[in-house]
Amino acid sequence: MKNDRKKIIFISLFFCICFSILSFFFTRYEYKQYKESVNRYVYSMIAILKEEYPNITEEEIINIVNQKKHGNYLETFKKYGIKEEDSVLYKMEENYQVHLYLSLSFTIFLTLVFLIFFFVYFYKKERTIREITNYMKEINQRNYTLGICDNGEGELSILRNEVYKTTLMLREESENLKSEKIALKDSISDISHQLKTPLTSILIMLDNILDNPKMEEETKNDFIKNVQHQVENIHFLIVSLLKISRLDADVVEFKKENIFVEKLIHNTIENVYVLKESKHVNIKVTGDAKIAFIGDFHWELEALTNILKNAIEHSPKNGIVKVSAEENPMYTKIRIEDEGIGMSQKDLQNIFKRFYKGEESSSDSIGIGLSLAKKIIEKDNGLIKVDSKKGIGTIFEIRYMK
């Protein structure tokens, strides 16, 4: 409200100065008129004296005019039959009073103008404050559809615009919260579906084991191995969901460290060694060993492991997966290429969606690994794209921007 106070002070000073100047000139004008009237009267009297008494000197006339004691002029007037209201001095005094009343009227007029101005000003100000207050009440009732954008100047206009910006922000957050609630609802539904199948399978197998104490040892071991496999799937699902939840909540602090691509690829291959050996897939690595980029090694290892695991799973036995790395002034690129069955156009459009399973996905697939990988890469200022052709293979290309 500092600017408003300055504005009020400036206007008040302006009115005071204008009033003072006008009062000064008006009073001076009244004084001049009064002085001229008195002087005319005196000059007339001197002229009459000179005419009636030619022998009187000017010095004697001046002494008479300048005398401080002139006696009771009213009694003198009455002696010669002159009434007070008929005298020139009375007329001059009457004129002076008229001017005095005009001056007083002018002062009252200016004061009223001043008061009307401030009444209108404070009324508008109070109305604006009342509008903003009512608007804030609407916001508290979660009504974000109103708009009070103001293009004017002044403190209240700035306040209105700030409130409007806050409203837009709250509206956006409200819409985001609605979207997040819908996404959370869908995620819970997907998680329930993902957990329901393995848990049902586990319960059925355990019931079979408990209901058949004389079950053959080989069959029992098969059931136990199957239960173990389902538990591992559930464990992977829960761990992956926890990681995605932490990333969604933005509570993960990514390190900014120098990551050497050679070391990252080497550790990634170690993570999928068992799967690689079981399918007899050969991984060929090419590229400059000195290439590096800035990011979080732990999380990027998680991302690349999921991508390379996907490539091996969709590769034929004795197939080849190519991993290459290169860089340019704009980004560092890692390319993972398999010779698998490829993906349809529908799979390409949805491959990074959470819990999405491609047409050729295995029954054990959960559909969360690639979604997690994409989120991690984007958190580290990277981007990922995929290209695939049916019967030829799939290429994942990751670019970490510099």
Domains of the chain, with CATH numbers?
A: 2-140 (no CATH), 173-248 (1.10.287.130), 257-401 (3.30.565.10)
pLDDT tens track for 52-63? 667 766 666 666
Least confident of 75-89, 223-237, 325-339: 75-89
CB 351 within 8 Å of CB 345: no
pTM for the structure as a whole: 0.53
Report the chain's mean pLDDT, rounded to a whole number.
76
Residue 82 has a pLDDT of: 47
Q: Both ends of the chain: CA-CA distance in Å? A: 47
Instruction: Please state the rounded mean pLDDT for residues 331-347.
Output: 88
Q: How far apart are CA 213 and CA 349, in angstroms?
A: 50
Residue 202 has a pLDDT of: 86
Q: How far apart are CA 321 and CA 396, in angstroms?
A: 11
Residue 129 has a pLDDT of: 75
pLDDT tens track for 247-287? 777 777 888 999 999 999 999 999 899 889 888 999 999 98
Strand partners, 235: none
| Phi, psi at 340, each rounded to 5° | -85, -155
pLDDT tens track for 108-167? 777 777 778 777 777 777 777 777 677 777 766 666 565 655 555 555 566 666 666 776
| Residues near 337 by beta carbon (within 8 Å), at least 6 away in sequence | 311, 321, 322, 323, 324, 393, 394, 395, 396
Residue 80 has a pLDDT of: 47
Q: How far apart are CA 246 and CA 239, in angstroms?
A: 11
Question: Encoding tokens for residue 328?
Answer: 């340019």
Among 285, 371, 291, which residue's Cα sits nearest to residue 331? 291
Higher pLDDT, 309 or 357: 309
**Which residue is listed with tokens 């030829």?**
392
Residue 297 has a pLDDT of: 93
Binning pLDDT at 50, 70 and 90, where does residue 7 land?
low
Residue 53 has a pLDDT of: 66
Q: Kindly tell me if the per-residue pLDDT of 187 is higher than 70.
A: no
Q: How far apart are CA 180 and CA 186, in angstroms?
A: 10
pLDDT tens track for 195-249? 777 788 888 888 888 888 888 888 888 888 888 878 887 887 787 777 777 777 7
Q: Where are the alpha helices (DSSP H) in 53-149?
A: 58-65, 73-79, 88-140
Cβ atoms < 10 Å from Cβ of 163: 19
